[in-house]
Amino acid sequence: MKLRFSPTSPYVRKVTVTLIETGLEDRVERIPTRVWDPETDIATVNPLGKIPALVTDDGEVLFDSPVICEYLDSLHDGDKLFPASGAPRWRALRLLALGDGMTDAGVLKLLESRRPEAFQYDKWAHRQGTVIGRAMDALEGELERLDGPLTIGHIAVACSIGWLDLRFPDPDWRTDRPGLAEWFEKFSERPSMTATVPKEAA
């Protein structure tokens, strides 16, 4: 399999953490891809022009990150990151959506800040910041859902917070959400997380 990736993408990190947690890391060749480079060929692989994109051994191209992660989860015999059915499945998928939603809001905020100043709309950026804050408050209010067997939801939330810390360093978020902060510190000690800390490309 071939994975189109960049070292800072939180969506890619979710896939890489999934690869490590499922023991599939060695089955994937990683191909660095700069999606914002005008010369990028990513659209020849993924018509949406985004990473991550996974080319399977059958030549199928999978995107986006939740689809890739669920595909990878189908390839191993260990404990599943996507519970098969019932309440555990919906809880995991909801947590996945919450984590990815925080990331999506952060990406919108970041892209807004990268427009020429005259085209920036502060209210829009502020709205995204509010979304992130509300999602973190929701997580603080349901810490018990962050316990239990590892699921794709935990990975999505941790990769999102890790990326938000990189792009919008603000230790203050921890003050009002001490439980979430503690959970994140602990989760970040997993080998799959320490091996994938986001770094700016050289």
Q: Are strands 61-62 and 53-55 parallel, antiparallel or unpaired?
A: antiparallel
15, 54 Cβ separation under 8 angstroms: yes
User: From CA 136, how far away is CA 133, in angstroms rounded?
Assistant: 5
Residue with tokens 């230790």: 171
Residue 142 binds ligand GSH (CB under 6 A): no
Task: Determine which residue in the list 16, 19, 45, 50 makes contact with ligand GSH, applying CB under 6 A.
Answer: 50
Does 161 bind ligand GSH (CB under 6 A)? Our answer is: no
- Identify the residue among 3, 9, 112, 128 touching ligand GSH (CB under 6 A): 9
Beta strands 29-32 and 2-5, pairing class? parallel
Cβ-count burial 90-113 (b if 16+ within 10 Å, e if not): ebbbebbebbbbbbbbbbbbeebe
Taking the C-alpha atoms of residue 160 and residue 152, their distance in angstroms, rounded to an integer, is: 12
Q: Rg of the chain's alpha carbons, rounded to an integer?
A: 17
Strands 53-55, 2-5: pairing kind? antiparallel
> Which residue pairs from 45-48 have beta carbons closer than 8 angstroms and sit at least 24 positions apart in sequence?
45/4, 46/4
Please report how close the Cβ of residue 111 comes to ligand GSH at its closest, in angstroms: 8
Binding pattern to ligand GSH, positions 82-121, x when CB under 6 A?
------------------x---------------------
Decide if residue 70 touches ligand GSH (CB under 6 A). no
| Least Cβ distance, residue 156 to ligand GSH (angstroms) | 9
Cis peptide before 66 (omega within 30 of 0): no
Between 51 and 93, CB nearer to ligand GSH? 51
Q: Which stretch binds ligand GSH (CB under 6 A): 17-25, 50-58, 69-77, 123-131?
A: 50-58
Q: Is 35 in the site for ligand GSH (CB under 6 A)?
A: yes
- In the complex, what is the shortest distance from the CB of residue 104 to ligand GSH, in angstroms, rounded to a whole number? 7
Q: Is 192 in the site for ligand GSH (CB under 6 A)?
A: no
Find the shortest distance in angstroms from Cβ 51 to ligand GSH: 5
Binding site for ligand GSH (CB under 6 A): 9, 11, 35, 49-52, 64-65, 100
